[in-house]
Amino acid sequence: MNKDLTLNIPVMDAMHDEFETLLLALQNSSQSEFMTLFQEMIEHTAEHFKTEENIMNAHNFYDKKEHFDEHANLLGEMKYFYEKAKKHPMFGKSYINDYAYEKFRRHIVNIDSQLAMFLKEKNLEK
């Protein structure tokens, strides 16, 4: 993974690495694999977000409302483009090729980083 995105919280870094791998596979996929891999990326993201939300609930993270809302937006958007892509493949392609990585990067830099800092301050990075 891009070094700038490493948070030094192993459970989060592992999920972010997996996301990058899935996104790269999707960007390089053939037409016939595209929807299957897109679906996999949605399932992985739902799992990734749920894991972070469980951590936030367990430790009563002060800013969890904002973080949960941001997860709901990102996942909702991903599902929206998946549905669009069923009829109009170009919508899905342009989301995956031009947009998804930047959304993901910004979430890590602006939002996940705050959670990582909170966990480190409490010595909960595991």
Binding residues for Fe ion, per CB under 5 A? 52, 112
Shortest gap between Cβ of 48 and Fe ion (angstroms)? 6
Q: How far is the CB of 87 from Fe ion (least distance, A)?
A: 30
Hey, what amino acid is at 92? Answer: G
Q: In the bound complex, what is the minimum distance in angstroms from residue 5's beta carbon to Fe ion?
A: 10
- The full DSSP string for 47-64 is HHHHHHHHHHHHTT-TTH
Of 13, 5, 121, 17, nearest to 25 (Cα)? Answer: 17
Taking a C-beta distance cutoff of 8 angstroms, is the pair 45, 96 a contact?
A: no
Please answer whether residues 91 and 85 qualify as being in contact, where contact means their C-beta atoms are separated by less than 8 angstroms: yes
13 vs 84 by CB, closer to Fe ion: 13
Of 54 and 97, the one with the shorter C-beta distance to Fe ion is: 54
Q: Which is nearer to Fe ion, 95 or 104 (CB)?
A: 104
Contact between 8 and 120 (Cβ < 8 Å): yes
| Closest-approach residue to Fe ion (CB) | 112
| Residue 12 or 26 with smaller CB distance to Fe ion | 12
CB of 72 to Fe ion, least distance (A): 11
